[in-house]
Structure 1
Amino acid sequence: MSWKVTLPCTRAEAEALQVEDIALADLDPLPVLMTSERVPDDAEQWQLDAYFEEAPGAATIDALKSLVPSSTDAQPVIEEIVEEDWVTISQEGLEPVHAGRFYVHTESNKGDVPEGAHPIRIEASRAFGTGTHETTSGCLIALDALKRRGARFDNLLDLGTGTGLLAFAALHLWPRAHATASDIDPASIEVTRENAGINGVAIGGGAGELALAVASGMQHPLLTQSAPYDLIIANILAGPLVELAPSVADALAEGGTLLVAGLLDRHVDMVARAYRAQGLRLAQRIPRGDWPTLRFVKRTRYGPARTRRLSRGSGEAPGFGSW
Structure 2
Amino acid sequence: MSWKITAFAPRSVVEGALLAHEDAFDWDPDIVISGSEIAEDRPDDWQLEAWLPHKPKKADREALAALFADGAPAFSEEKLPDTDWLVTSQQDLEPIRAGRFHVHTPDHPEIKEAGVFDFTIPASQAFGTGQHATTAGCLAMLTHMKQQGIVVRNCADIGTGTGLLAFAALSLWPYALATASDIDAVCASVVEDNAARNGIALGADKGELVMTIADGMAHPLLAARGPYDLIMANILAGPLVSMAPDFAAALQPGGHLVLAGLLETQEAAVRQSCRRAGMRIAARVVNGDWSILWLRKRRGHG
Instruction: Answer whether TM exceeds 0.5 for this pair.
Output: yes
Residue correspondences, number: 295
Aligned to 1:94: 93
For the residue of structure 2 that corresponds to 1:76, the secondary structure is strand
Q: Distance in 2 between matches of 1:195 and 1:136?
A: 16
Cα contact 1:14–1:46 (8 A) shared by 2: no
> What percentage of aligned pairs have identical amino acids?
43
SS in 2 for 1:217: coil
Matched, 1:13 2:17: yes
> Would you say the 8 A contact 2:202–2:208 is kept in 1?
yes
Which amino acid letter does the alignment assign opposite residue 301 of structure 2? Y
| Shift, 1:63, TM fit | 5.9
Superposed CA RMSD: 2.9
Structure number with the higher strand fraction is 2
- Superposed CA deviations along residues 51-80 of structure 1, whole A, max 9, x for unmatched, are 5666x3555873675476589563525254
Question: Equivalent residue of 2:287, what SS?
Answer: coil
For 1:177-256, what aligned pairs fall within 5 Å after superposition?
Answer: 177-256=176-255
Answering whether residue 78 of structure 2 is matched by residue 74 of structure 1, we say no
2:166 alignment partner AA: A
Contact 1:11 1:43 in 2 (8 A): no
Match of 1:37, as an amino acid? Answer: E
Structure 1 portions without partners, runs of 5+: 304-323
- Distance change (3 Å), C-alpha of 1:255 and 1:88: closer
TM-score (norm 1): 0.79
Report Cα offsets for 1:207-261 as digits up to 9, x if no partner: 1111112112211111111111111111122221121122211111112111111
**Residue identity matched to 2:76:** P
The residue number in structure 1 matching 2:36 is 36
The change in CA–CA distance for 1:38 and 1:16 in structure 2 (over 3 A counts) is farther
Counterparts of 1:53 and 1:171, CA distance in 2: 37
Is residue 7–residue 71 contact of structure 1 (8 Å, CA) maintained in 2?
no
Aligned pairs (5 A) from 1:48-197: 48-51=48-51, 56=55, 59=58, 62=61, 65-66=64-65, 69=68, 74=74, 76-81=76-81, 84-108=83-107, 110-111=108-109, 113=111, 115-116=113-114, 117-197=116-196
Distance in 2 between the 1:22 and 1:269 partners? 25
CA distance in 1, matches of 2:124, 2:65: 25
Could you say if the C-alpha distance between residues 227 and 45 of structure 1 is closer, same or farther in structure 2, counting changes exceeding 3 Å?
A: same
Q: Is the 8 A contact 1:260 1:293 kept in 2?
A: yes
The separation in 2 between residues aligned to 1:251 and 1:73, in whole angstroms, is 44
1:71/1:81 CA distance change after superposition, 3 Å: farther
Cα distance in 2 between the residues matched to 1:260 and 1:196: 23
C-alpha spacing 1:61/1:302, structure 2 compared with 1 (3 Å): closer
Q: Which residue of 1 aligns with 2:280?
A: 281
Rounded Cα–Cα distance in structure 1 between residues aligned with 2:210 and 2:48? 36
Amino acid at match of 2:199: G
Amino acid at match of 2:186: A
Using the alignment, how far apart are the partners of 1:93 and 1:48 within structure 2? 22
Q: Post-superposition shift, 1:14?
A: 4.4
Distance of 2:129 and 2:59 partners within structure 1 = 28
